[in-house]
Structure 1
Amino acid sequence: MAHRRNRRAKSRTAGRATGVVLISAIYFCSGACSLIDQVVWARLLKLVLGNTVYASSIVVSVFMAGLALGALIMGRFADRIKHRLRLYAMLELCATVAAVLMPAALRMADSLYRWYFVTSDASPGALLALQVAVSALLLLVPTMLMGSTLPLLGRYVTAMENQVGHKVGRLYAVNMLGAAVGCLLAGLVFIRLAGVMGTLYVAAGLNLFVAAAAWWLSRFHDAPAKAVEPAPAVAALTPSRAPRRVYVLMAAFFASGLISIGLELIWMRSIVVPLGGFTYVFSAVLTVYLLGNVIGAAIGSRLAHRVASPAVVFGVSFGLLGIMAAFYIPCFRGWFMLLQNTPSIVDAFARAVTQESLRKGLLPIIHSLALFMLPSIAMGVGFPLALQAWAHVRHSVGRTTGVVYGVNTLGAVVGGLVTGFVLIPMLGVQRSTLVLGLAGLWLGGLLIRVFYTGPARLLRIGAPAAVVLASLAAVYVPADLFRRTLADTYGGEILEVREGVSATVAVVRHPDGALGMVIDNIEMAGDGIHRSAQQTLGHLPVLLHGDARQVLTFGFGCGETTRCLAQHGLEQLDCVEIAPEVTQMALKYFGHINLGGDLASRVRMIHMDGKNYLHLTDRRYDVIINDSNVHSTADSAPLFTREHFKTALERLNNGGLFITKVHLRGYPRSHLHSILGTFMEVFPHVTVWFPVHRPFVFCYLVGSREPQLFSPARIDAELAKHDVKTCIDYLHMASSQDVLSWYIGDKSDFARYIGDYVANSDDRPFIEFNLDADNLEIPDYFP
């Protein structure tokens, strides 16, 4: 009998071990689904909230808040639930349904926004407040369902309190690994091949598989809850004897999440300077961030059940993260200076990878591995150790997991908001990293002091001395290193840098004395050759229209385009600019070519996303101008989609014109074909223009509902106006003959030229995700 009982016990143990392995595989898939959903929701919210930092921040913050609330709520009940796998399967099923219904819910909310914006003439700020509130409520449901799964499964995989850090930490690492894989696939594969909605359905299908697999496993491995076995020798750590330790641990959990997400946002902002604001760059940063957390969590889970004081090791990892954060900008600058001045492994890789598109996608990953992997590992190490440290205080596995995960994630919510909307605008990137780094360093030192039980001399002298020395070294790092990096990148003297909520804006003086305005790594405007595009957009559409009264332009730049437009005697001139910092810097440094102090009286400035404004407003215009420089960045690409062109066509008055410039230098032919083809799909009549008198890197597409008929007499009459003459000199346009000489062709001409193309749309954002790196120059387009 005893032999049979032992055999049955071994069989149950082996069965449970198999169940844990299978659950880990399922949770890996669940992590991939969660990140894919987050990527898709971020793109959908940008269509509703506009392509602003607010849209990204709302997704990240609400995603984290939902995870936190779900974990805290489930943590209260996980220890008492009988059939955990069955409940987990139901939660995954509900999360799938909520994720699939999200696009329909956002469309319904969009109708509310349009009604509110039109009927109440709401300010952009009031509209944003409504959009944020509604979007947060919609996202909260699926994210709470996702967050409730970790305490539930954490309670399933371990019934022993002294193993919670090891086993739940390992489960967390597996989930994060799935998230890293999901992020990489969503950013580089799925959206390119299946579109945004197709990617959502792929994630939903995988989530259904996860729910079905968990339900099936519950039939064999879903054992009833057992009493938690307490960890040995924890009496000295109970709150009644050491309440200070409870508060310090809670503060550390919260600060860990805050600092981790804060650093991630800073990395995103800083990497734009050398690499550009492209989608695959952001995907690389996020993937490495998640992968580093995976490695760190795996290390931490092994340490959690081997060290005597996990809280001390948590403090050490926290302090190391603080040091790496405080010295991030010196390392960032040193890395890119090294690459500029010496042969490197990156150069060797670039030579070894012969496929240009593969190199284009993988190079950001190499940079991210070099800059972000070690601090990401330090972030990941802390979570399993924090779990084990808290388990020595609160003796319940499910509640331990819920509290640690919940408080840590709430810290991430606050970190995303504080870093994006307070620290960076007020302190800039370099000082923000210093503040976060010092906070981590000192809190890590506090953890060590409170929980360390070794030799007293080492505690009293060694740890504080190390923290103080590291802090002094970080504080004495030159405060202008990030500014110097900008100067190295932009190739000129930096007059001023303004880091705002939406963009980093710099004014550069080039060696020839010309001023340039640089926005997130791209020189968008200036008083040199950029005047060709600025004056073209300020004059060409009005001259071609012949009787324009209401004009809308997207993008302020240095302000010369609005100045040129204002000279034509318009009744209404609206300018939509997403970043107030751009307008402020333009008025300060480019007053000699913009309206200066007359701007407020002659132009209605609207600080919001241009695509979002055009979608929401009921105003109609004679001319709509799309002044977007680089069509493939994450910020500008939405202005070249089929949906945006359709909205512009609907907002045109009879005889109205929509004009957009298209970059020709350094971009593949497939981009031009996609934009041209999409443009011609939407606009019944299209003409293409090129400024032969002042050639620059742009051609201009003009679309309309009616046939485009141009009157030389009206053009000459407009050019004869004194105010127009004073601000068109750079283009050398003196007559209608000069203007009409810019004509290249119409729709029928370019339909033969482009042949097959891939349309660019919100669902299939081809030019944003296209890795074709066969870049051409102007002669390749116009030989």
Structure 2
Amino acid sequence: MIYLLIFLSGLSSLIYEIAWIRQASFVFGSSALAMSTVLAVFFLGLGAGSWLFGRIGSITPKPLLWCAGIELLLALNGLSTQALFDWTDSLYGEFYRHFDTHSTALLLMRAGLVCLLLIPPTLLMGGTLPLFCRQLIRDPAAISAKLSIVYGVNTLGAAMGCAATGFIFLPTLGLAMSLQVAAGLNLLVGLGFWLLNRRLPPCPTEEELATETSVTANTKQVPFLLAGSLFFMIGAAALANELIWARFLTNFIRNSVYTYTLTLVVVLIGTALGSLSINNWLSTTRKPQQLLITFSGLQALSATLILLLTHLPASAWQALEPWGMLPFILLMTPSALIAGASFPLVNQLVSHSSQQAAKQVGRMTSINILGCIVGSLLTGYVLLPQFGLEASIFITTAWTIIAAWIGILAINESKLSAWAGVCSAVAVWLLMLTFSPVRIPHDYMKPEDKLLSFAEGYNSNLAVVLRDNIKTLLIDRLWQGVEVSNYQVMVAHIPMIHNPDAKKVLVIGLGAGNTASRFLRYDIDHLHIVDIEPRLFEFTRQHFPSKWMDDPRVNLIAEDGRNYVKNTDQHYDFISVEIGQLDRPGVSVFYTREFYQQAHSKLNDNGMICQFVPLSFLRPAEFASVLKTFLSTFPNAQLWYNTDELLLIGFKGDIRQLSPEGFSKVTENPAIGADFDINYWGGSLYNLSSFPVFMGSFLASGAELGTLSGIAPASLYTDDKLQLSYSVSDFKKTDRRASDLVPQLQQHLSPIAAAVIPGSTADRALQTATNVRNFNIADITASDVLWTYAAKDDNAERRAQRASEALKINPRNIDAQNLLQRALVELEPRPQE
């Protein structure tokens, strides 16, 4: 029964960790700095708890009673977590409004509040393992054998808790209920420990163990400093490698809401299995120090294996993309297994007696966790952003090899095979450094893309490629913008045509700057641009048109956009939300009721907000839910066409209607009018500079928009569940989601007249706009046919078929006409010579 309780204790701890990380992102933001602070404090609490309760465990005769008390206190903390985070959120917001977003004072305040929230419960969590050891370890010669079971079972519970929370609890129960589940488990486990404490006799005291043999003759003691250094380095390497591998996998695996959970689950399962699997060996061997030497050699070899795996041909890793967890398992399991096995071994070598096992385990665990903190911070803030991914892989591999060398050095009995392993690792490391067969990330780019520049950001990878002879910005391999004017500029112009007198504008998401720069063509006083990636501003300045960034009206803010909107004391006439692909982690928080309420509170009277609605990611239920959630805060709203990336425009006051005169007054400004000399699909005849053509982008408002929000069972998206992030995580480029929504759009269109001032527009112009709108909507399907379903082995015949099918849907599509013409030329029989 006690091992079941140990398992459940680990399970509840990881429910808390995953839930706290999610909850902390709403309070402090999800930037790398904020999340690193949260994780560092989490580990700091665990380490301090291990050290403190290791000392308590060495003297208490009733460790299970302490465990029961810890679980009860954790349950109380879990039930009060929401109130504690709400209080912290309010306090942090007050400080946020009085300091610069990157001031030292605000950083210290954030760290202090995180400590206030997380140190008490994590201190308690860190104390459980030493107390378990005090209860279960009685034979000084079997410390590592018993510890391998305790640590393995507890870590396996943690892995199951991580998986259950990330894959089941958060998506289905939500954040609040997940915390209640964890609190319920704490109460159950606490009751179990209390009952066991009543049944079991007290642990032997120091006097009762006075005759105990310190350690067996075959188990040599090693200097604590040497063993501690080894444990510190193993912890640092483990966390550093987690971050590096996660970043490496983004080269060929699309990052999603599940990525962090997958990474942590694989590492925890590997660690647990490593600890459990060594138990049989420890039970039979007379020289566990020889096993440590062997494992140190294997640690060096596993590091070398990782180095070789990360430098396999890019095609090998790209071929594994459809295999789900397999890439994670290949990269992370070997070193996790060895790290898990090393934990009980090292503790055996520094422990003097069974009574002191709790104290030694607490000390060694705290040292290991300190290494985790240092490794994660150094990797996140120094290695990856300053040296890049490839250099970071070599540095952490070298670090791991050094740790293996220390492990062998810790035992004076040399073992030739272990030294051979380390020497082989060094040789391979030097060889790969000199003759690396793969360039990271260059060789992971699409063959048709020419890499022009690359930078490791704090939150993401930034790249500029030449695609179809156009300079293109990629963030984590995903398209974010181009150097030339395209439909993205209309994300600024469509709302500003409604409110050309806006003076203060907020843009969330910089991209290549195509949209943000267009606001400066209007008579605004302030343009604030917020982006979570600090390096993107300079990267964009270097590679894309950027003179506009020097405009004194521009303020570039490196911050989590959601956190900024919630806490800033600034108010705006217009907020533009441009955060890219919906399946990216952290994007769905901009589609919840809470975000819209926060944005509404930061709009001036008669202010406006504009939100992307990318149809290619959305099924009918998700599309309806996006509309329903938006309308719950902005009932006065319009839906506009802008390719398949529709625009939702919300008005804090009444909807602003348009007129030909007002349109002409704005577009007669040459800088603005030039941007309207573009078209979506039909050539210059359908340029947006024509008012009827422009109005053909209006889709719905009022009752029709409300009806669209009910085309399928719709949810109200909230911070508690973040439903959208989970439902779109299975997105594939070949999905027909945009096309599937076209019939629903066609059935629920508002009259064009609903968007214009009554009497301002001739009936003929309204009819022209209606005809253009029909083509616009049809072209969503035509574009899907034309580009989405292009096969890798595309040929002239297939291109001709796709173009012909697209032209049946939208006969005016210029791209389809050109593609068909080129394909037919290729298919023409060539005259024989």
Q: Taking structure 2 as the reference length, what is the TM-score of the superposition?
A: 0.83
Matched-pair contact (CA < 8 Å) for 1:514–1:526? yes
State how many pairs are aligned. 726
Matched-pair contact (CA < 8 Å) for 1:82–1:223? yes
The higher-RCO structure (CA 8 Å, 6+ apart) is 1
3-state DSSP class of the match of 1:482?
coil
Task: Tell me, in whole angstroms, the C-alpha distance in 1 between the residues paired with 2:152 and 2:407.
Answer: 23
Question: How far off is 1:635 after superposition?
Answer: 2.0
Question: Aligned runs of 1:580-659 on 2, under 5 Å?
Answer: 580-591=534-545, 594-595=546-547, 598-599=549-550, 601-659=552-610
Equivalent of 2:465 in 496, 503, 508: 508
Equivalent of 1:573 in 527, 542, 549: 527
Task: Tell me, in whole angstroms, the C-alpha distance in 2 between the residues paired with 1:187 and 1:211.
Answer: 24
Matched-pair contact (CA < 8 Å) for 2:67–2:193? yes
Say whether 1:741 aligns with 2:696: yes
**Residue of structure 2 equivalent to 1:255:** 233
**Residue of structure 2 equivalent to 1:750:** 705
Say whether 1:481 aligns with 2:439: yes
Task: Tell me, in whole angstroms, the C-alpha distance in 2 between the residues paired with 1:398 and 1:507.
Answer: 54
Task: Tell me, in whole angstroms, the C-alpha distance in 2 between the residues paired with 1:520 and 1:324.
Answer: 27
Matched-pair contact (CA < 8 Å) for 2:271–2:338? yes
Matched-pair contact (CA < 8 Å) for 1:525–1:557? yes
Question: Aligned runs of 1:672-687 on 2, under 5 Å?
Answer: 672-687=623-638
List gaps (5 residues or longer) in structure 1: 1-21, 348-362
3-state DSSP class of the match of 1:217?
helix
Equivalent of 1:230 in 213, 218, 222: 213
Task: Tell me, in whole angstroms, the C-alpha distance in 2 between the residues paired with 1:125 and 1:269.
Answer: 28
Cα deviation code 1:331-378 (max 9, x no counterpart)? 14638623656xx8x86xxxxxxxxxxxxxxx5323322332222212
Matched-pair contact (CA < 8 Å) for 1:304–1:384? no
Which stretch of structure 1 is more off in the superposition, 312-321 or 185-194? 312-321
Which stretch of structure 1 is more off in the superposition, 228-237 or 760-769? 228-237
Say whether 1:434 aligns with 2:394: yes
Question: How far off is 1:459 after superposition?
Answer: 8.3
Say whether 1:418 aligns with 2:397: no
**Residue of structure 2 equivalent to 1:174:** 153
3-state DSSP class of the match of 2:377?
helix
Equivalent of 2:195 in 216, 223, 240: 216
Runs of 4+ aligned structure 1 residues displaced above 6 Å come to none
Matched-pair contact (CA < 8 Å) for 1:281–1:364? no
Distance 1:271 1:183, change over 3 A: same
Question: How far off is 1:534 after superposition?
Answer: 2.5
Cα deviation code 1:755-774 (max 9, x no counterpart)? 22122110011011226748
Q: CA RMSD in A?
A: 2.5
The one-letter amino acid paired with 1:745 is A
Task: Tell me, in whole angstroms, the C-alpha distance in 2 between the residues paired with 1:381 and 1:486.
Answer: 34
Equivalent of 1:662 in 593, 600, 613: 613
Distance 1:289 1:513, change over 3 A: same
Task: Tell me, in whole angstroms, the C-alpha distance in 1 between the residues paired with 2:330 and 2:95.
Answer: 47
Question: How far off is 1:320 after superposition?
Answer: 3.0
3-state DSSP class of the match of 1:688?
strand
Which stretch of structure 1 is more off in the superposition, 379-388 or 97-106? 97-106
Task: Tell me, in whole angstroms, the C-alpha distance in 2 between the residues paired with 1:780 and 1:659.
Answer: 24
Matched-pair contact (CA < 8 Å) for 1:685–1:703? yes
Distance 1:81 1:477, change over 3 A: farther
**Residue of structure 2 equivalent to 1:8:** none
Task: Tell me, in whole angstroms, the C-alpha distance in 1 between the residues paired with 2:385 and 2:271.
Answer: 27
3-state DSSP class of the match of 2:673?
helix
3-state DSSP class of the match of 2:203?
coil
Task: Tell me, in whole angstroms, the C-alpha distance in 2 between the residues paired with 1:134 and 1:507.
Answer: 39
Task: Tell me, in whole angstroms, the C-alpha distance in 2 between the residues paired with 1:475 and 1:145.
Answer: 44
3-state DSSP class of the match of 1:580?
coil
Cα deviation code 1:73-106 (max 9, x no counterpart)? 1112212101111111001111222233232222
3-state DSSP class of the match of 1:546?
coil
Say whether 1:285 aligns with 2:263: yes
Question: How far off is 1:462 after superposition?
Answer: 4.2
Matched-pair contact (CA < 8 Å) for 1:304–1:388? no
Task: Tell me, in whole angstroms, the C-alpha distance in 1 between the residues paired with 2:110 and 2:246.
Answer: 24
Cα deviation code 1:552-611 (max 9, x no counterpart)? 1101111121211101120111111111221111111112xx435x43523111110111
Equivalent of 1:779 in 726, 733, 739: 739
Question: How far off is 1:752 after superposition?
Answer: 1.9
Task: Tell me, in whole angstroms, the C-alpha distance in 2 between the residues paired with 1:437 and 1:616.
Answer: 41
Question: Aligned runs of 1:77-96 on 2, under 5 Å?
Answer: 77-96=56-75
Question: Aligned runs of 1:6-17 on 2, under 5 Å?
Answer: none
3-state DSSP class of the match of 2:552?
helix
Greater share of residues in helix: 1
3-state DSSP class of the match of 1:225?
coil
Equivalent of 2:116 in 119, 137, 142: 137
Task: Tell me, in whole angstroms, the C-alpha distance in 2 between the residues paired with 1:29 and 1:743.
Answer: 55
3-state DSSP class of the match of 2:191?
helix
Distance 1:780 1:236, change over 3 A: closer
**Residue of structure 2 equivalent to 1:408:** 368
List gaps (5 residues or longer) in structure 2: 680-686, 744-833
Which stretch of structure 1 is more off in the superposition, 533-542 or 678-687? 533-542
Say whether 1:267 aligns with 2:245: yes
Cα deviation code 1:481-539 (max 9, x no counterpart)? 32134314x851111211121221111111x21122111231111236xx434201221
The one-letter amino acid paired with 1:640 is Y
Cα deviation code 1:372-419 (max 9, x no counterpart)? 222221221111111111225998211121111111111111111111
Which stretch of structure 1 is more off in the superposition, 621-630 or 98-107? 98-107
Distance 1:670 1:368, change over 3 A: farther
The one-letter amino acid paired with 1:484 is H
Question: Aligned runs of 1:694-733 on 2, under 5 Å?
Answer: 695=643, 697-712=644-659, 713-731=661-679, 732-733=687-688
Question: Aligned runs of 1:115-194 on 2, under 5 Å?
Answer: 115-120=94-99, 123=102, 126-194=105-173
Matched-pair contact (CA < 8 Å) for 1:79–1:225? no
Task: Tell me, in whole angstroms, the C-alpha distance in 1 between the residues paired with 2:329 and 2:413.
Answer: 36
Task: Tell me, in whole angstroms, the C-alpha distance in 2 between the residues paired with 1:299 and 1:316.
Answer: 15
Which structure would you say has the larger Rg?
Answer: 2
Question: How far off is 1:667 after superposition?
Answer: 4.1
The one-letter amino acid paired with 2:590 is L
Question: How far off is 1:666 after superposition?
Answer: 4.5
Task: Tell me, in whole angstroms, the C-alpha distance in 2 between the residues paired with 1:406 and 1:313.
Answer: 23
Equivalent of 1:520 in 476, 491, 494: 476
Matched-pair contact (CA < 8 Å) for 1:81–1:225? no
The one-letter amino acid paired with 1:604 is N
Question: How far off is 1:233 after superposition?
Answer: 4.5
Task: Tell me, in whole angstroms, the C-alpha distance in 1 between the residues paired with 2:17 and 2:257.
Answer: 15
Q: Taking structure 1 as the reference length, what is the TM-score of the superposition?
A: 0.88
Matched-pair contact (CA < 8 Å) for 2:636–2:652? yes
Equivalent of 1:493 in 450, 455, 461: 450
Task: Tell me, in whole angstroms, the C-alpha distance in 1 between the residues paired with 2:619 and 2:33.
Answer: 31
Cα deviation code 1:406-435 (max 9, x no counterpart)? 111111111111111111111222221221
Distance 1:580 1:79, change over 3 A: closer
Question: How far off is 1:271 after superposition?
Answer: 2.0
Distance 1:405 1:773, change over 3 A: closer
Question: How far off is 1:33 after superposition?
Answer: 0.5
Distance 1:125 1:635, change over 3 A: farther
Task: Tell me, in whole angstroms, the C-alpha distance in 2 between the residues paired with 1:493 and 1:330.
Answer: 25
